Structure 1
Amino acid sequence: MSYFAEPFGGATLNAAINVYVEGQLQTAEGEEEGLFNGPQRVSGPAGKYIIGDRDPLVVKYGTSIPTGSGLGTSATLNVVWLALVRREEVTTREDKMHLAELAYETEKTLGIIGGKQDQYASAVGGINLFEFTSEGVTGEPVNIAPDRLAELESLMLLCYTGKARLSSNIHRNVWGNFRAGNQTTLNALFSLRQSAYEARDAMEQWDLQRLADIISAQRHYMRDLDASTSNEQIEQLFDLTAPDVLGGKPTGAGGGGCILFIARDQQAKENCRDRLEAQHLHVLNVAFDFEGVVVTRQ
Structure 2
Amino acid sequence: MIITRTPLRISFAGGGSDLKEYYLNHGGSVLSVAINKYIYLSMHPYFHGNKYLLKYSQNELVDNVDDIKHRIIKQVFKDYNISGVDFNSSADIPSGTGLGSSSSFAAGLTTLCSTYNNNFMSLEDIAKYACEVEIDKLKEPIGKQDQYACAIGGLNFIKFNQDDTVAVEKVILKQEKIKQLEDNLLLFYLGTTRSASEILIEQKKNTIKDQEKVNSLHKMVALSVDLKRELQKGNIDAMGDILHSGWMYKKELAAKISNERIDHYYNIGIKNGATGGKLLGAGGGGFLLFYVKEEHQQNVKNAMKDLEEIEFKFNFEGTKVIHYNR
TM-score computed with the length of structure 1 as normaliser: 0.89
Contact 2:177 2:236 in 1 (8 A): no
199-208 or 68-77: bigger deviation: 199-208
Cα offset for 1:48? Answer: 10
C-alpha RMSD over aligned residues = 2.7
59-68 or 195-204: bigger deviation: 59-68
Helix, strand or coil: the match of 2:313?
Answer: coil
Corresponding position: 1:149 with 2:167: no
Residue number in structure 1 paired with 2:258: 230
Contact 1:15 1:128 in 2 (8 A): yes
Corresponding position: 1:103 with 2:121: no
The number of residue pairs the alignment matches comes to 290
Q: Distance in 1 between matches of 2:252 and 2:171?
A: 28
CA offsets 1:78-114 (integer angstroms, 9 cap, x no match)? 11112112225557xxx11111111111112112111
Cα offset for 1:145? Answer: 0.6
Residue number in structure 2 paired with 1:9: 27
Helix, strand or coil: the match of 2:290?
Answer: strand
Cα offset for 1:233? Answer: 1.0
Residue number in structure 1 paired with 2:157: 129
Residue number in structure 2 paired with 1:290: 316
Residue 238 to residue 50, structure 1, CA distance change in 2 (3 Å) = closer
- Which has the larger share of strand? 2
Unaligned runs of at least 5 residues, structure 1: none
Residue number in structure 2 paired with 1:158: 187
Q: Distance in 2 between matches of 1:54 and 1:258?
A: 35
162-171 or 286-295: bigger deviation: 162-171
Residue 15 to residue 90, structure 1, CA distance change in 2 (3 Å) = farther
Residue number in structure 2 paired with 1:175: 204
Q: Distance in 1 between matches of 2:77 and 2:123?
A: 23
Stretches of 4+ aligned residues off by more than 6 angstroms: 46-55
Contact 1:195 1:218 in 2 (8 A): yes
Cα offset for 1:29? Answer: 2.4
Cα offset for 1:38? Answer: 2.4
80-89 or 195-204: bigger deviation: 80-89
Cα offset for 1:54? Answer: 10
Helix, strand or coil: the match of 1:36?
Answer: strand
**What amino acid does structure 1 have at the position aligned with 2:315?**
D
Q: Distance in 2 between matches of 1:200 and 1:271?
A: 29
Corresponding position: 1:208 with 2:226: no
